[in-house]
Amino acid sequence: MLKGKQILLIVGGGIAAYKALDLVRRLRERGAGVLGVMTPAARQFITPLSLASLTGGKVHEELFSLTDEAEMGHIELSRAADLVVVAPATADLIAKAANGLANDLASTLLLATDKKVLMAPAMNLRMWLHPATCRNVETLTQDGVLFVGPGEGEMACGEFGPGRLSEPLDIVAAIETALRKDTRIPLPQGSLFGKRVVVTSGPTHEPIDPVRYIANRSSGRQGHAIARAASAAGAQVVLVSGPVAIVDPPGVDTRHVETAREMLAEVEAAMPADIFIAAAAVADWRTEAAGASKMKKGAAGAPDLRLVENPDILAAIGRRTAERPRIVVGFAAETDDLLANARAKLARKACDLIVANDVGEGTGVMGGLRNQVHLVDAVGTESWPSLDKEEVARRIVARLAALIGEQSSGGPRS
């Protein structure tokens, strides 16, 4: 059952760490390969040389080891095995894994792995029964982490109760049971994990002079919500934002611009991307030449402002012949003939999907918290009810993830 299987063994710091050596011996007897990882605390109980002698290979200890990163980076190390086993799994390691912490090699591997994890806890009974540990174990169980033990008996501290590391043969049996099923962790359906998404958001400010500018009422809430939703779906997100009064989404590469030309430059610099979402309300025109000083009222009356067209960012990306995103999404904010204008924009800008919304007087969409959108593509139109902009963002991201999935599987494009 174990012949030819690779086990990544993470040894935590506890008196029971010595049993990990016997576990390695039992696994090797059954034909399994073992990659050894030790926490700094584990070195207080057993030596790296002891573990290396039994695994027959290098023991990995440091997250930022130049040699290890050159030979086998920690991401690859976390995915090279068929199963990840933590023995002993200390309260500290369990807590880190449950809360997604990654400040050393062991916890980083647990967060980065795409394989199932089997934990064999070992700790003082009070620590095992503590509400915090109970919560952490419950969280990990819900996340799909497997557990073996702990056993009950007398401990090194002199107390008696649950908390003893399971015997090596019991852990071997749990490993064999785990390996009877596929141990790969699938990505959530509709996820954008590994995809690069570029989003524009907010208005642009086109200067008239050092004080005045041409702009619109866009708050950036919808574009920022889309960037957050895409990031939550696992995408690498670049957000190119015009001037807004809302905070940057966490975990997103936000690039701040003022004008349409600056926005286009940042979008092009962010390419290539899998998905481009043009949610920004870009000013269509700018002054031909912005004044170097503030314009003053005078006898001559109102100044003569000559306007020129700004670059069309959506069309520039949609019509790309090289490095065009797989999906290009535009927004149509209209006050009249909403769907007709959206369908015309779909063709004119060479995009795959238009998110159309009515921003006429009384709708409250511009600057508001809710939005009512219609999704227009080459096939037809889908209308959604009025929703919170965060929910609109989640639904848009889910739709795009499904489209990416269809493309990957050879299905139809929108």
Q: Are 343 and 327 in contact (CB under 8 A)?
A: no
Residues 6+ away with beta carbon under 8 Å from 76: none
> Per the omega criterion (within 30 degrees of 0), is the bond before 203 cis?
no
In which element (H, E) is residue 347 found? helix 338-348
Supply the pLDDT for residue 66. Answer: 44
The rounded distance, in Å, linking the Cα atoms of 286 and 42 is 64
Amino acid at 198: V
Per-residue pLDDT, 167: 94
Please give the Cα distance from 239 to 198 (Å, whole number). Answer: 6
Per annotation, catalytic residue among 157, 211, 269, 308: 157
Domains of the chain, with CATH numbers? 6-179 (3.40.50.1950), 196-287+304-408 (3.40.50.10300)
Tens of pLDDT, residue by residue, the chain (414 residues):
788 899 999 999 988 999 999 999 999 999 999 999 999 999 999 999 999 999 998 888 877 654 554 444 556 777 778 999 999 999 999 999 999 998 889 998 998 888 899 999 999 888 999 999 999 999 999 888 999 989 887 766 667 768 889 999 999 999 999 998 888 776 555 578 889 999 999 999 999 999 899 998 889 999 999 999 999 898 999 999 999 999 999 889 999 999 999 999 999 999 999 999 999 999 999 998 888 888 888 777 788 888 999 999 999 999 998 899 999 999 988 778 888 888 999 999 999 999 988 776 656 566 677 888 899 999 889 989 888 899 999 999 999 998 888 776 554 444
134 a catalytic residue: no
pLDDT at 75: 65
Q: Give every CB contact of residue 110 below 8 A, 6+ residues apart in sequence.
A: 10, 78, 84, 86, 93, 96, 97, 102, 117
Number of residues that make up the chain? 414
The neighbouring-strand residues paired with 238 are 198, 253
Rounded-to-integer distance, Cα 67 and Cα 355, Å? 49
Which residue matches tokens 């920022």? 224
